Amino acid sequence: MLSEGYDAVTVERVCADANVGRSTFYLHFPGKEGILRHSLGGPSSPLVALVEPEASVETLRPILEHFHHQRKTNAVCFTHPVRAMWVKRLGELIEPKLAARARAIRARPILPLPLVAQQIAEAQLALVSAWLATHPATATPTIAEALIAATHGVMAALLRCDQRALLAKRPSAT
């Protein structure tokens, strides 16, 4: 997919490259979208962690440096249709952590939490995509800091909560 694009990926090619039969493939994945969803879990993990108050520049640095160094190869991940699938998957991964955080701080979300999670995912990938495409000279720590601030800002706004409460390691019982 990285070298030829998403459309060039077929179940037949995946099976041939992996030396497995189609039935074996379908035991594990419903189709090529399923294998993509699964493969997006790894690069999504540091972005999902931004929902937590412990998010740090150092946590993000490795994945952002990887994206930066591989930006030509990874460009397919930031364009249609892969980007839309990534936003959806990232939102699904963010939602449980967001729900736990919202309960802990007794937030009053403006929107349903799945929609808030999708908005956070979209904002995160939009920032990374714009950085790689138009401002790759911007330092990785600066992008990491911006991702943290943007994630927490969207969370505070859409959960209708004070950002200090959102970032508290142990939410107060008030």
Task: Look up residue 53 and give its amino acid.
Answer: P
E strand residue ranges, the chain: none
Please report the pLDDT score of residue 174 as a whole number.
Answer: 45
Give the mean model confidence (pLDDT) for residues 127-156: 97
Give 15-69 pLDDT, tens digit per residue.
999 999 999 999 999 999 999 999 999 999 999 999 999 999 999 999 999 999 9
Please report the pLDDT score of residue 170 as a whole number.
Answer: 58
For the entire predicted model, the pTM comes to 0.91
Q: What residue ranges do the domains of the chain occupy?
A: 1-32, 40-167
Please report the pLDDT score of residue 8 as a whole number.
Answer: 87
Identify whether 81 is preceded by a cis peptide bond (ω within 30 of 0).
yes
